[in-house]
Amino acid sequence: MDHAVSIWRKDGGLPWLVAALNKVGASDPAADDLLRAAEQLPADSPAHTTVSYHRVRLLLEKGEQEKARKVLDGLLPELRHTITLSSLNMFLNQRMRVAASYNEFQTYLSRQVVGFTAELDTDWKDTYCRGTGCYDRLYGGKKGQPQSRFDLDAALVLNTRMPLELLAKSALDETLPERLRGELAVATWTRAAMLGRHDIAIMLVPKIKDAYPETAKDLDVYAQAQAQASQYRWYAALLAILHHPGARPYVIAGLARTDAIETIDNFSDNWWCDDMGQYLDNVGNDSYWDAKGGTRKSRERADLPPYPAFLSSEEKEAARSQWRTLDAFGTAANYLPYETLKWARENPDDPRIPEALHFAVRATRYGCGNQATSRLSKEAFMLLHSRYPNSKWTKETPYWF
């Protein structure tokens, strides 16, 4: 870094300006000088796009969001026609970060897919994608137009920095592409139900049924339970979540889940893991669930984004509280049987209990488990077999895991 800055100061050459900008952070003594040089670079310079990106990056690091927003708004109309889609996505990332209102945030929330990678040889990847719908989900068919997805930056903001009310608003806002609205609606509904916010969850039922018709039966039961006591609303939601392994209280970045929402994925891409939307994949972090006390400890990724500037202090606090509550629930492979066992103890005569216990045991087999999972699996299994020996669901549950 010092070497690049030193040479740039001596000869002022464009290559060394680019090199120095690429290396420095906002706290570097040379940052202000480099920003001035970047601002003066002619628009027809071959390095203008690269220099502009780093100029905005430094402005963001310095907390000068308004200035960064003005720079981006001056750049984007031209860049949309002159740079590659992957490079444009990087600028859209920056523009989303400086959104001054909910409407701006919503406008820059999704990105067009450029491609995807997999640790597979080309022939096997093509065969796999034909069977699982990768091309359809990413490109609208192998030769179709690129699909819009959530990138990591957008997914992290939605999962960890947005309150339920705005998540629901985003899911119902036609600014987002249809497929993403469906995914966000499921995530927000699951999140709201887990948090006991059925007033929000019920708003999303029509959208989810439209995006995923296979959920209609369970969601109709849930909607009809709204007039009853709160715990009955939760029981209907819990059974719906157990029935649909694609339900999780957060959106994922990049490639969508390839299996249907009601279908078990054999590689454990079912429900959610310990990370609760921080890592956005199925690799849990170093956390655990204590099934007796219900306590959980976890590490938090260090690069979580700041709260959007347009959020009020009340909205930021609501988002913080909601996400921390969800994060404390831990992995679905433990949370779902834990909640089902609680339901069974409180309402042993509920006719849905045997079915719920069966699906709770299934969740321990196909979800992201840890050291407490097997204990919960056995407990649900034993209760099912001891209390409901003649149920068809008992006969369909020959093992615990």
Rounded CA gap, 207 and 250, in Å? 16
Rounded CA gap, 333 and 365, in Å? 8
pLDDT digits (tens, 9 = 90+) for 329-361: 999 999 999 999 999 999 999 999 999 999 999
Q: Tokens 């906002």 — which residue? A: 26
Residues near 340 by Cβ (< 8 Å), separated by ≥ 6?
238, 242, 356, 357, 359, 360, 380
pLDDT digits (tens, 9 = 90+) for 245-292: 999 999 998 888 888 999 999 888 999 998 766 655 433 333 333 433
Beta-sheet strands, E only, within 178-226:
none
pLDDT digits (tens, 9 = 90+) for 205-249: 999 999 999 999 999 999 998 655 668 899 999 999 999 999 999
Indicate the burial class of 322 (C-beta count within 10 angstroms; 0-12, 13-18, 19 or more).
buried
pLDDT digits (tens, 9 = 90+) for 19-31: 999 999 999 999 9
- Whether pLDDT at 1 is above 70: no
pLDDT digits (tens, 9 = 90+) for 82-102: 999 999 999 999 999 999 999
